[in-house]
Structure 1
Amino acid sequence: MTNSEQKAPGVGLLTVLLGAVAAGPILLYGLSATSDSIIAELGISEAQFGLLATACFGCAAVGNATLGRLADRHSDLSLMAFIFVLSALALLLVVVPAGFGMLLLAASLAGIAQSFPNGVTNRILLERVPTAKRIGWVGVKQSGVQVSQLVASLAFPVLAIGIGWRGAALAVAIIPLLLLVMTWQALRTTPLLPMANPVGGTTAEADAPDTNATTDSGDATVPAEATDRSPTRPARHPGMVWALAAFGLLNGVGVQATNVYMPLFAVRELDFSLVLGGTTAALAGVVGVIGRVSWARRMAKGASGLHLLLILALIALLGAGLFLTAGTFRWSVLLWIAVALHGISALGVSVVLMSALMRVIPASSMVSASGIVTAGMFFGFALGPVGMGLLVSSVGGFPLGWIAVGITYLLCTLLALVLIRANSRRRQ
């Protein structure tokens, strides 16, 4: 490729990074948007329908936890192609009229497609995007989940009116395939940075960083073992990676417990209509996009990731309290405030987690490190709806459910405080 064909990273590359994060979740959001039709046509129960989310998030969690090291040894293009092809295949399987079992398989494949996006997109940012743009781009690309939610929630119901929910899935399958073509073009024309260390390559600077240097925000120290590039003896990840995974797990429980049952709570406890109840989830998605971009900008300006996680946990804890209060006193105004707090806080955690990772992990092991943290989040996603459903079905009802959500955010708060204290001691 000639130098004239190469260009600085621009909108095309940012679009495919966002698309990689958005491609996997679009199936589940689309099925949720047309759940009434699916349940009626297949003759399944609401509990069975919920298994689709469990299968999706469960496969995503296992994939992130087990496939990261393998992914570290594959190219950006091969991993991005895997994401988009598997996402398209999952949507195409929905078209096959083979009953609920086929939907479970499709949801599982969509979950596996979510095993690599955070890792490979983080690595692409490290290798191809200048430092000045990098953290800001994290906020945009991590908003892919909320963008997916908005697109699927609008496209699936509208398309289903004319061609049914299976036809809607067929039409939407074109999106990941178009993103695959865009990815090939974007990666072909966007060069590696001069100091980048791509998969399979080495540079003296990348292999021998200053092991005593701390990150911009003082979140953690880059360990010497994190730079070991030996393919036969994988580097051990620093403790911060596992701590961020634990935070993601706890936050993930609260996130999906709230996302899945928020509309139902509005309808049952506050007498909202079905449309207005669904609007609560849409508002959370919109605020979530704004929040992720805003928190990424804070990180780009040098804010400490650990301190931001503490702030997010406290805001989410306040939101859980308002959900509980809104149901107790039947105040709809408090519900809308709680929804906004949920969107700006709990839905913004992933961008801070990924940005913090990029400060302590080299490109050579970014996919596996991101996979560990993302696996923590997805395990939380899988546990949250199940636990909330059991609590809501019990005599404690929604009040007990919101108390449990609040406890998860309280644990997030305590974990952030412990990490901040440990980091302060390490820097002394």
Structure 2
Amino acid sequence: MTTGRAPTSLLFVLVCAMGVGPLLNYGLSAASPLILHDLGMSQSQLGLLAGAVFASAAVGSMWLGQLSDRATSRQQFLLIFGGTVLALVVAALAQNFWVLLVAVVLAGPAQSISNPTTNRLVVTAVPQAQRSGWIGIKQSGVQASQLFAGLFIPAVSLWLGWHGAFALAALVALGLLWYALQKLPSEQARPRTTARAKSAADGLPLPVWLFAAFAFLSGLGTQATNVYLPLFAVRSLGFPLVLAGVAAGVSGVVGVTSRVIWGRQMSLGRRPSAMLLALAAGAVVGVLCLLSAGVFRQPALLWAGVALHGATVLGANVITNAAVLVVVPPERVGIASGVLAMGMYAGFALGPFVMGLLADATGGYEAGWITVGSGYVLCVGVALWLRRYGATHPWKAVRGR
């Protein structure tokens, strides 16, 4: 049993493991006006790139979730960071859409295993009193990556071009891998479970599947917004490239803070269903702000929408991951996290693709924002289902003690 307090260096490693995988996605979004111009790509092709990386992540998430229950953390970190470095290098060499497509497919597995790997480390290496708070902080690594990419990629692109920006990002990821390998606790590979049922997802409790449904619906809107926000700001509101990147970065800053706050709320024993309900309602308001910003050409509404986006749906992953650690036994954390990741990445894959198709078909973003808002309304329904389930089949509250 884990005692004492886990070192903050391990927390930093967990944050980096969550943030490094999506670095390519956010970089493509932040530099999208340059990339579309240089390669002659359409908006729907940009959506296809985002969809492909998350489809790749979704396809492998179940198997990789099971792998995380067996392989050592060092082996998994090599996959997370090494896969990201490879994907960034391929992107840096890309001279057409198809090479970028290869790069994003390579980035998928690195992202799909990050949640199971880091969740497993939290369970095995972090005292129970710290776990919920650490979940919130380590999940904020994704938004820290969004902030980094939103500021770093456009700025370096103006200096070295977007190819050079991705090459430099690969060097950053390689440095983080070296640091992580120095700080990971030593462990042995875990043996395969002997019972076939233990490796199957069909024995997981209903809340896991409801959390996965929420992750799918919220993920659809999350990545549609993340991918197209800079392009929307440039084309609909006339923002310069760097300011559009700042808008994405602001969303990341708010997202980092919100994930820490949601994690602390979980550690206080708040009901996951109640928090997801409030989160979904706020997300609906946020997407209405973005829709109105484009219709009325009001930049202030865009900033309001960006803030609400960061404060709401970017925190969903914290709540669902922290709750999953409670509703399944420790030996099934990997597969349960894999199911959750599968739902999330399926939504991530579909959202940008649909947004791009609608933008090309209509010449604007209104239909896309309406679709995103509809997904958030369905999230409200799933949260209400979770709330009703919890009233009749209560599970232990997620507490930090």
TM above 0.5, yes or no, is yes
Q: How many residues get paired? A: 390
Q: Distance in 1 between matches of 2:150 and 2:363?
A: 31
Which stretches in structure 1 are left out of the alignment for 5+ residues? Answer: 1-5, 193-197, 202-228
Deviation at 1:344, TM superposition (A): 0.1
Contact 1:87-1:113 within 8 A present in 2 as well: yes
The C-alpha deviation readout for 1:86-140, integer Å capped at 9, x for no partner, is: 1111122234456433222111111111121101101100111011111111111
The C-alpha deviation readout for 1:216-239, integer Å capped at 9, x for no partner, is: xxxxxxxxxxxxx54443252212
Which residue in the other structure is 1:17 paired with?
A: 14
Q: Distance in 2 between matches of 1:160 and 1:405?
A: 30
1:233–1:388 distance in 2 versus 1, CA, 3 Å: same
TM-score (norm 2): 0.88
1:345 corresponds to 2:312: yes
Aligned partner (choices 180, 186, 189) of residue 183 of structure 1: 180
RCO comparison, higher one (Cα < 8 Å, 6+): 2
Counterpart amino acid of residue 300 in structure 1? S
Which residue in the other structure is 1:159 paired with?
A: 156
Aligned partner (choices 91, 96, 102) of residue 94 of structure 1: 91
1:412–1:176 distance in 2 versus 1, CA, 3 Å: same
Query: Secondary structure of the residue that 1:73 maps to in structure 2?
Result: coil
Query: Secondary structure of the residue that 1:199 maps to in structure 2?
Result: coil
1:234 corresponds to 2:198: yes
Aligned partner (choices 168, 171, 182) of residue 171 of structure 1: 168
Which residue in the other structure is 1:104 paired with?
A: 101
Counterpart amino acid of residue 233 in structure 1? A
Which residue in the other structure is 2:291 paired with?
A: 324
Q: Distance in 2 between matches of 1:159 and 1:272?
A: 18
Aligned partner (choices 141, 147, 151) of residue 150 of structure 1: 147
Structure showing the higher helix proportion among its residues: 2
Which stretches in structure 2 are left out of the alignment for 5+ residues? Answer: 396-401
Q: Distance in 1 between matches of 2:91 and 2:228?
A: 24
Contact 1:23-1:84 within 8 A present in 2 as well: yes
Q: What is the CA RMSD across the aligned residues, in angstroms?
A: 2.6
Which residue in the other structure is 1:114 paired with?
A: 111
Structure number with greater Rg is 1
Aligned partner (choices 313, 324, 349) of residue 382 of structure 1: 349
Contact 2:147-2:251 within 8 A present in 1 as well: no
Contact 1:67-1:115 within 8 A present in 2 as well: yes
Q: Distance in 1 between matches of 2:229 and 2:146?
A: 15
Which residue in the other structure is 2:253 paired with?
A: 286
Contact 1:12-1:182 within 8 A present in 2 as well: no
Which residue in the other structure is 1:212 paired with?
A: none
TM-score (norm 1): 0.83
Query: Secondary structure of the residue that 2:185 maps to in structure 1?
Result: helix
1:95–1:65 distance in 2 versus 1, CA, 3 Å: same
1:416 corresponds to 2:380: no
Q: Distance in 2 between matches of 1:7 and 1:179?
A: 26
Which residue in the other structure is 1:367 paired with?
A: 334
Contact 1:90-1:110 within 8 A present in 2 as well: yes
